Structure 1
């Protein structure tokens, strides 16, 4: 399959499809069709690409395309695949990170190749996501007949392919969540703490974001363990105790979150030799985890 030919269709025109379609269009890749349960979504994306004729019904999209990208919610993948009449020689590829390829069994039973193509990027703003795809990774799972086509698609988009083995998707997606959306409650906690002494939310966020960026830059340069900083990495028991005293005064949930995040950081500090055994024991005691064995994975 040559990606220069108009044989790619999207079924589902939400934010992920919008970003991918924009990026492919800008790389000169012609699309065959855009379809959605909500026809207005397909029409809007087709208009954005300057090709209103791309918008059509889902079954017509299948008739036009060889490679069909299912950009629908996870819970709708299986029912969408079951509702369509697939043919041998087609490829049914979902864009989910967490859903196994078994959700595409209806397409496989009809003779289509099945696969997964999950861009590892944030899609809250499709235009920005389209610009960020190049240089990002994409998780690919497919059989030997389809995998070269998905690798070619990744290459056109400038993405780094990450091959997923069967049965790993839930762990893969959970890990991605830790690196992305799970950062948000931690940052929100930091903002709330500053609000408690009178800093407005916008000012707090403006002040804290450079720390976030600096940490990410340090990880990129020196690795996770090499980027460790703060009182736990220094074995500063007194500072940690003062943190906990202040947080307990605000409410036990604040101190509980601090303790939960501090323990794995202490494990990393020990693994890198930043914190000696005596300091680690004192920190465990301050954190209320006497006798707890720490993970020192690294």
Structure 2
């Protein structure tokens, strides 16, 4: 493991817990490598060359901005026959330039999971799905490694990596932003923050659970799905420009879902209303 932060420490502990052999940790900060190694009951290395020598697979678990720098350092060493893998969600294995000349097989592995605490995150990682893309050999090595793990692996195309990451970011981070805006609007309506969250909890939980279980079409309810022009018009009248822009953008997607769910309904006026307000 090259990097001893949240991802490196979590994955190292997770691998060890499920019977994988982790040769050790290397980090620019020796104390971080020592801490991670102790937590994972393995070794730390003060020299990168020493870690490379005893490892068949090198996992780069540094920040996205540092991956290329670490790779350039690795590629200049004797790494022929090894596999190299990073954990970035937004970057693909294409970042490993000249991999063929270095004699290594490369891939990227990404858990659809939020690493909150490097000493506890591994405990709930069993439910996470991982995506992998890259060279055939490196991907095969990852699949063999995951035979000991309970997680599902999904193979994705290298050229689709950025679109994939944008999608999972929207499903995670953007949902938080939307929820934050809803809480702010409730506060503007005179409801305290604590009460706002309490009010939204069962609504949000039930909607998300229904969408994930039955699909978005079946879970969708509300004025846009009902084709209730009057209610949507009233909503738009009281929103700020920022709120209206978000409402319009997501509303357009809701119309698309509604049209699939109710093929007999005509949503033309709803589309025109949203389009007019967004102009």
TM-score where L is the length of structure 1: 0.85
CA–CA separation in structure 2 for the residues paired with 1:158 and 1:12: 24
Equivalent pair of 2:248/2:274 in contact (CA under 8 Å) = yes
Secondary structure (helix, strand or coil) at the match of 2:58 reads strand
Equivalent pair of 1:90/1:112 in contact (CA under 8 Å) = yes
Aligned partner (choices 3, 15, 18) of residue 12 of structure 1: 3
1:101-250 equivalence runs, <5 A: 101-127=93-119, 129-247=121-239
1:131 shift after superposition: 2.6
Aligned partner (choices 251, 258, 271) of residue 260 of structure 2: 271
Distance 1:42 1:33, change over 3 A: same
Equivalent pair of 2:94/2:158 in contact (CA under 8 Å) = no
Matched, 1:254 2:243: yes
Secondary structure (helix, strand or coil) at the match of 1:209 reads helix
Aligned partner (choices 37, 43, 46) of residue 34 of structure 2: 43
Matched, 1:284 2:247: no
Please give the root-mean-square deviation of Cα atoms over the aligned residues, in Å.
2.2
Equivalent pair of 1:39/1:57 in contact (CA under 8 Å) = no
Gaps (5+ residues) in structure 1? 1-9, 293-298
Distance 1:288 1:141, change over 3 A: closer
Equivalent pair of 1:81/1:106 in contact (CA under 8 Å) = no
Partner of 1:59: 49
Matched, 1:32 2:19: no
CA–CA separation in structure 2 for the residues paired with 1:168 and 1:199: 43
Secondary structure (helix, strand or coil) at the match of 1:198 reads coil
Matched, 1:71 2:61: yes
CA–CA separation in structure 2 for the residues paired with 1:81 and 1:155: 27
1:55 shift after superposition: 4.5
CA–CA separation in structure 1 for the residues paired with 2:80 and 2:143: 21
1:128 shift after superposition: 5.0
Question: 1:98-126 CA distances to partner (integer Å, 9 max, x unpaired)?
Answer: 21223222544221111111111111234
CA–CA separation in structure 2 for the residues paired with 1:275 and 1:194: 35
Equivalent pair of 1:233/1:275 in contact (CA under 8 Å) = no
CA–CA separation in structure 1 for the residues paired with 2:178 and 2:252: 15
Distance 1:110 1:288, change over 3 A: closer
Equivalent pair of 1:14/1:41 in contact (CA under 8 Å) = yes
Equivalent pair of 1:11/1:36 in contact (CA under 8 Å) = yes
1:275 shift after superposition: 7.0
CA–CA separation in structure 2 for the residues paired with 1:60 and 1:203: 56
Partner of 1:295: none
Equivalent pair of 1:12/1:36 in contact (CA under 8 Å) = yes
Distance 1:286 1:143, change over 3 A: closer
Which stretch of structure 1 is more off in the superposition, 187-196 or 96-105? 96-105
Gaps (5+ residues) in structure 2? none
TM-score where L is the length of structure 2: 0.90
Distance 1:12 1:275, change over 3 A: farther
Equivalent pair of 2:92/2:107 in contact (CA under 8 Å) = no
